[in-house]
Amino acid sequence: MNKIYFLCTGNSCRSQMAEGYARIFLKDKYEIQSAGLEAHGVNPLAIKAMAEDNVDISHQHSKTINPHYFQAADLIVTLCGDAKDHCPVTAPQTRSIHWPLPDPAQATGTPEQQLLIFRQVRDEIKQRILALASNP
Sign of the dihedral defined by the CA atoms of residues 134, 3, 80, 125, in that order? positive
**Catalytic residue list contains 13:** no
- Report CA 84 to chain centroid distance, whole Å: 13
Q: How far apart are the first and last CA of the chain?
A: 13
Catalytic residue among 8, 37, 57, 77: 8
Q: Spell out the residues 6+ positions from residue 2 whose beta carbon is closer than 8 angstroms to its own.
A: 29, 30, 31, 74, 75
Q: Which of 24, 39, 87, 116 is catalytic?
A: 87
Of the candidates 80, 107, 117, 132, the residue annotated as catalytic is 80
Question: For the chain, what is the radius of gyration of the CA atoms?
Answer: 14
Known catalytic residue at 8: yes
Active site residues: 8, 80, 87
